[in-house]
Amino acid sequence: MKKIILTGGGTAGHVYPALAVAEKLKDYEIHYFGGSGMEKDILKAYPKITYHEIPVVKLERKLTLKNLLIPFKLFRSIRICKKEIKKLKPNIVFSKGGFVAVPVVIASHKQKVPVISHESDLSMGLANKIILRFCKCMCTAFQKTAEENKKCVFTGQPIRDKILKGNKDKIQMEEKLPYLLILGGSLGAKFLNDFVKENLDFLTTKFNVMHLHGKQNTAISFHKNYLPLPYAENIEDYYARADVVISRAGSGVINELLVLNKPMLLIPLSKKCSRGDQIENAKLFQSLNLAKMLEEEEVSKDSIFKNLDYLLKNSENIKKNMKNYAKNDAKTLIFEIIKDNELK
């Protein structure tokens, strides 16, 4: 049986697209190289994939002496990965990015194992800029990203099968109101949580509110048509139930909502806390009339409700645009690229 290593981590957005690709790998022995964080927890639900925990080397986005240790930590992590790869003898590696993947990709290159990678965001992060040097091909979620480097090819974002099979009848609330799903990403979003807390009474006069607040955050107090959740294994059912969504603008979630034709209001992570990739993603979606967006500085009760009202009133046109734009065969395209590049 052929062997493949999947790698990537730090957030669910790095892990789930790799697992979507894994659904196509029926004739492969699958190994996953990741750190001790979220990716390890997620992979516990996939017993057929062998997990290998490796040391993670991450660049801090601030001036700190910890960054001076990066070369030494990276060298150690590459050495550990190289040893594991030499033992496994994989045919190919698929990287979903993040700093978890960097030593795996470099070690694979040193062992002459081909690497295929994927970039979810409109602009490439630092980890994938490094990975690009060592991979055969980088698949991209956006056409514009692929146009900027001859190693890149536009495939779209791989989506897990289960996302397309949600059952809205599993989620029922008392009030006969539209259903609003609020997503803060896999780690939650304090900014969105604080907004919900301050405006819950008003939100629940207009909507049945389903709120994924993150495992690290406590739920807001009870309300009869407010459903707080730290995390949802069955996120597909909440997607299916939602009439409209407020979300951060990570590429994974917005591409899932795109494929499902869900009207969305995007509130991207600000540049104070990121490199601005979510802002770029949200601006692109808004320019294509696939979503509305507000930067954090623009958020108020009035601006939120004005945009939600617009999305509900124009949902049919928005859904029509989404159907025309969505690329739903990404994992098939990526699988073909993997087959074409693997060691025989």
What pLDDT is attached to residue 219? Answer: 59
Would you say residue 262 has pLDDT above 90?
yes
pLDDT of residue 188: 56
pLDDT at site 58: 75
Can you tell me the mean pLDDT for 145-165? 94
* pTM of the complete model: 0.89
Number of helices and strands in the chain (H, E): 13, 13
Provide mean pLDDT across the span 96-103.
93
Over 90: is that where the pLDDT of 38 sits? no
Angle, nearest 10°, between helix axes 12-22 and 330-341? 70
Spatial strand order in the sheet of 92-95 = 50-53, 28-34, 2-7, 92-95, 115-119, 137-140, 152-154
Q: What is the pLDDT of residues 162-197, one digit of tens each?
A: 999 999 999 999 889 999 999 986 555 788 988 998
pLDDT in tens, 312-329: 999 999 999 999 887 668
Is the pLDDT reported for residue 217 higher than 70?
no
CATH number (3.40.50.720, 3.40.50.2000, 3.90.850.10, 3.30.70.141) of 2-159+329-341 reads 3.40.50.2000
Given a cut of 60, is residue 39 above it in pLDDT? yes
Across 28-42, 214-228, 267-281, which has the greatest mean pLDDT?
Answer: 28-42
pLDDT exceeds 60 at position 121: yes
For residue 62, pLDDT beyond 70:
no
pLDDT band for 267, please (50, 70, 90 cuts): very high
Which residue has 């909502």 as its token pair? 257
For the chain, the domains span 2-159+329-341, 163-325
Per-residue pLDDT, 313: 96
Burial of 27 (0-12, 13-18, 19+ CB in 10 A): exposed
Selected residue with higher pLDDT from 329 and 211: 211
Same fold, 2-159+329-341 and 163-325: yes
Q: What is the CATH number of domain 163-325?
A: 3.40.50.2000
pLDDT at 70: 79
Label residue 50 exposed, middle or buried (CB < 10 Å: 0-12, 13-18, 19+).
Answer: middle
Question: Of the given ranges (139-148, 188-197, 230-239), which has the lowest mean pLDDT?
Answer: 188-197
Using only the alpha carbons of the chain, give its radius of gyration.
20
Q: For 57-66, 323-332, 334-343, which range has the lowest pLDDT when averaged over its residues?
A: 57-66
What is the CB-side half-sphere exposure of residue 99 using CA atoms within 13 A?
Answer: 15
The answer to whether residues 18 and 94 touch, using CB atoms and an 8 Å cutoff, is yes
